[in-house]
């Protein structure tokens, strides 16, 4: 029950963070591509809707779900009986499997080349974040150990 409460609260807290990140990336995309007006995704996605406002609304729902998935899935790291390897691999699989269809819904074109590129990018970014987190955690443990009287 405790894990379920934690999963729900983390998901609810992370959903607006997902929306914020999605909006920031969409704004950067518009700026980099020198678009005259805001668009939440690529043209093929936006053209599925009656107007850009509807496309933005659907995009925000997708971004909220992505945020909820990333936030909620962190409860995996509270499984004390699991090794850090099992926790990390489980978290990676769950987020990859749940976020990938949302990425496709959000307008990512679906063909083998793009899918393989997406998968490679996902793995590289996940590894970099994991590496940074492990480095930060190791430093925290070292600092705590230094404070323990000997």
Q: What are 19-46's pLDDT values in tens digits?
A: 999 999 999 999 999 999 999 988 889 9
Distance, CA of 58 to chain centre: 17
Q: What residue has token string 């920031």? A: 24
Three-class SS state of 26: helix
Q: How far apart are CA 31 and CA 25, in angstroms?
A: 10
The region that residue 148 occupies, defined by phi over 0 for left and psi between -120 and 50 for alpha, beta otherwise, is beta
Q: What is the pLDDT of residues 40-99, one digit of tens each?
A: 988 889 999 999 999 999 999 999 999 999 999 999 999 989 998 899 999 999 999 999
Q: What residue has token string 């590289």? A: 124
Mean pLDDT of the chain: 93
């Amino acid at each position: 029950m405790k894990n379920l409460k934690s999963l729900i609260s983390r998901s609810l807290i992370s959903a607006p963070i997902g929306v914020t990140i999605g909006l920031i990336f969409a704004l950067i995309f518009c700026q980099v591509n020198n678009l005259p007006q805001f668009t939440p995704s690529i043209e093929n996605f936006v053209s599925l809707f009656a107007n850009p406002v509807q496309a933005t609304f659907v995009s925000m729902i997708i971004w909220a779900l992505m945020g909820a998935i990333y936030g909620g899935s962190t409860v995996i790291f509270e499984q004390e009986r699991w090794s850090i390897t099992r926790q990390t691999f489980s978290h990676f699989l769950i987020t990859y499997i749940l976020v990938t269809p949302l990425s496709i819904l959000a307008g990512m074109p679906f063909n083998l080349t793009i899918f393989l590129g997406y998968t490679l990018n996902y793995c590289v970014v996940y590894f970099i974040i994991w590496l940074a987190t492990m480095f930060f955690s190791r430093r925290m443990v070292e600092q705590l150990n230094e404070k323990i009287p000997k």
